[in-house]
Amino acid sequence: MTQNLHQMTNTELKQYISKHRNDEEAFRAALEVLISRRDPDAAYQPYPFDLADPEGEVEAILMNKIKQAE
């Protein structure tokens, strides 16, 4: 079904991702298609798989958001 990912709607892609959450290859492929459709003007949130130190960098992003909310 991965060959049809580009033809799926966003809702169908989200359902596919949910259904294949334990299949890393299918999950990643669908998520990449979904991410590629995002609005280029939207705020960028990095995908954890692409980060050098995912835990540290995600923690820093969250701490930054908490400080902004205060």
Domain ranges of the chain: 1-37, 43-70
pTM: predicted TM-score of the whole model, two decimal places: 0.55
pLDDT for 61 beyond 90: no
Q: Give first-to-last CA distance, the chain, whole Å.
A: 45
Check residue 50 and give its pLDDT.
67
Check residue 57 and give its pLDDT.
81
Residue 42 CA to residue 16 CA, distance in Å, equals 24
Check residue 35 and give its pLDDT.
87
User: Strands, DSSP E only, in 1-70?
Assistant: none
Burial (CB < 10 A; 0-12, 13-18, 19+), residue 30, is buried
Instruction: Write the DSSP symbol of residue 44.
Output: P
pLDDT for 46 beyond 80: no
